[in-house]
Structure 1
Amino acid sequence: MNPAPTTFILTLSCPDRKGLVHAVSGFLLDNGGNIEEAAQFNDQTTGLFFMRVQFSAADQSLSALQAALAEFAPPLNMQWSLHDAAKKVPTVVFVSREGHCLNDLLFRWKSGLLPIDIRAIISNHRDFYQLAASYNVPFHHIPMTAATKAQAEARQYEIIQAEQAELVVLARYMQILSDDLSQKLSGKAINIHHSFLPSFKGAKPYYQAHDRGVKLIGATAHYVTADLDEGPIIEQDVARAFHTDTVDDLTARGRDTESQVLARAVKWHSEHRILINGHKTVVFR
């Protein structure tokens, strides 16, 4: 019997030009690929072309296709990545003392709803070590002060590397990453901000929203950059607010929104549906 074909996901971006879809589909055909799903976008403001292709190939390995792409891409000035669609993305989760997003991610992961593999939880508090243990996930308590920040982040990065993590999720981690760590995690760290950015930045957006009497509150998942709460936005959602709401009411409603927004962002990232486009993202849903 012939072996079952392997499914791959190719994502790419390059300067736009005529014939790119033809060129990519021709490349896949020449390398034994059968396209199962394809999406593309031409950003006319930047002149960049973005594409995501899911394809199967019966007689090709990941390394062989990567070698072929390394020859195909340079003439087109193409940035690309290729993934085995069956591989779950190794993930490390950061959390502080708000556990709703962590709990939601753990449940979705164990339920098979997210194509990730949570390999460690890192926290500057001990609050969720029992939750981590209930899912059999290693829990690392790394306290942090201004004086110990550099050493603490060095230890965090050691864990990320040891676990071979390809994704870091800040699930209400209430510490600001240093410029150095932000750069090391560029494009593979997702934060959930408990507000509809760019409004109400900082640590207490629900207090700001209540003070302003807003009629909608929201949550924003974005990639981490050195600029606080300024990274490329992946997903946002809102919930209705009423004049009778207290801060506690807004906070409780907002937590549900945060969990859902973060889960969608993690899912799309781990399915390789997101391409960074400057300070924005292209999301092939």
Structure 2
Amino acid sequence: MSHGRTPLDPGQAPAASDTALADRARILLSCPDRPGVVAAVSQYLYSMNANIVRMDQYSTDPDGGRLFMRVEFDLPRLSDRRRELEEGFARTARPLDMQGEIRYARERKRIAIFVSKMDHCLRELLWQWQAGDLSGDPVVIISNHPDLKDIAATFSLPFYHVPVTRETKPEAEHRQLEILQNYQVDLVVLARYMQILSTEFVSAYPNRIINIHHSFLPAFVGANPYERAYERGVKLIGATAHYVTANLDEGPIIEQDVQRVNHRDSVEDLKRIGRHIERVVLARAVAWHLEDRILTYKNKTVVFV
């Protein structure tokens, strides 16, 4: 699903130049690795008079593995030639068993941010958006607590307080999904949203829900990772951004980072250090998703940065 940019008040987040992006598109594909794949894609784009501005590729094994590619290109009069481009790519892809799609840089993805009470990840995303550093637009903020409503108002974004209890979780998720549909959301970001999503919710947005976990997964899965890290006496703490799946904290990992700590650091010190790591890691993962830099395969990601 793709949508145009949401209108913003003066002084709100500046958009990348629509003129500069009007003719830019990206092909994301994977297929069995064999001779001729790169040549076929390049030749097809040449036949369309497209100019390739970046091409990334990775093979799990050149001898019988799987090839992943991201091709970014400019095509004159793209808006008038999309059908021609897509049909031609489908013909090129079929003989080589390519699984892929074309995405258009001008179509900025619409983002819903889920939060609870902690604001550091939310603020980082909104600051980067306001600075024009995200190729997408937050359009709604949803929370199970009312605490961060003022931040949403500062950025002129709608805020929905949807309380969640064990008894009301199905009704709450139904309401949240209604909101996402009403705002035509492309990406859901869990910016320290302290609730576990149901399988039904996750299935509505496969590989389109990004979570930040305050641990260097797979260590300390679940709740209270900083307390457990302190008890274990770790020397490194980290954070992990991953796509959400039905299995808690086990979805494909997009980005991770760590920072060294020592025996002098208390649990509160670990949390303070961790907040910085969390917001940086989540912002990177969101930016890469918005720029179509991520391909998923099995329970892994290939990230072209």
Higher mean C-alpha deviation, range 153-162 or range 117-126:
153-162
Aligned residue for 1:22?
39
Q: Give the letter for the 1:16 counterpart.
A: D
Mapped partners of 2:165, 2:82: distance in 1: 43
* 1:53 aligned onto 2:100: no
Q: Summarize deviations over 1:8-28 as a string: whole Å, max 9, x none.
A: 111111111111000000111
1:88 positional shift: 2.0
Matches within 5 A, 1:108-187: 108-187=128-207
Paired residues of 2:115 and 2:143 also in contact (CA < 8 A): yes
Q: Summarize deviations over 1:179-230 as a string: whole Å, max 9, x none.
A: 1111111111100000000001111000000000100000000000000000
Paired residues of 2:40 and 2:92 also in contact (CA < 8 A): no
Mapped partners of 1:17, 1:73: distance in 2: 13
SS in 2 for 1:239: strand
Q: Give the letter for the 1:227 counterpart.
A: N
Mapped partners of 1:234, 1:24: distance in 2: 26
Provide closer, same or farther for how the CA distance between residues 241 and 115 of structure 1 changes in structure 2, counting only shifts above 3 A.
same
Partner residue of 2:237 out of 217, 221, 232: 217
Q: Give the letter for the 1:101 counterpart.
A: C
Mapped partners of 1:253, 1:20: distance in 2: 45
1:75 positional shift: 2.5
Aligned residue for 2:58?
41
Partner residue of 1:88 out of 75, 87, 108: 108
Mapped partners of 1:115, 1:234: distance in 2: 17
Aligned residue for 2:3?
none
Q: Summarize deviations over 1:51-73 as a string: whole Å, max 9, x none.
A: 00010010333333223223332
Aligned residue for 1:9?
26
Aligned residue for 1:188?
208
Aligned residue for 1:254?
274
Report the number of matched residues. 283
1:233 positional shift: 0.3
Paired residues of 1:62 and 1:83 also in contact (CA < 8 A): no
Unaligned runs of 5+ in 2: 1-18
Partner residue of 1:98 out of 111, 115, 118: 118
Mapped partners of 1:71, 1:159: distance in 2: 38
Paired residues of 1:40 and 1:49 also in contact (CA < 8 A): yes
Paired residues of 1:32 and 1:59 also in contact (CA < 8 A): no
**Identity over aligned pairs, percent:** 51
Mapped partners of 1:53, 1:160: distance in 2: 30
Aligned residue for 2:10?
none
SS in 1 for 2:163: coil
Task: Provide the TM-score with structure 2 as the length reference.
Answer: 0.89
Unaligned runs of 5+ in 1: none
SS in 2 for 1:73: helix
Paired residues of 2:55 and 2:69 also in contact (CA < 8 A): yes
SS in 2 for 1:28: helix
SS in 1 for 2:140: strand
Mapped partners of 2:126, 2:111: distance in 1: 11
Task: Provide the TM-score with structure 1 as the length reference.
Answer: 0.96
Q: Give the letter for the 1:122 counterpart.
A: I
SS in 2 for 1:165: coil
Higher mean C-alpha deviation, range 154-163 or range 128-137:
154-163
* 1:271 aligned onto 2:301: no
1:86 positional shift: 2.8
* 1:230 aligned onto 2:279: no
Paired residues of 1:172 and 1:192 also in contact (CA < 8 A): yes
Mapped partners of 1:149, 1:77: distance in 2: 42
CA root-mean-square deviation:
1.5
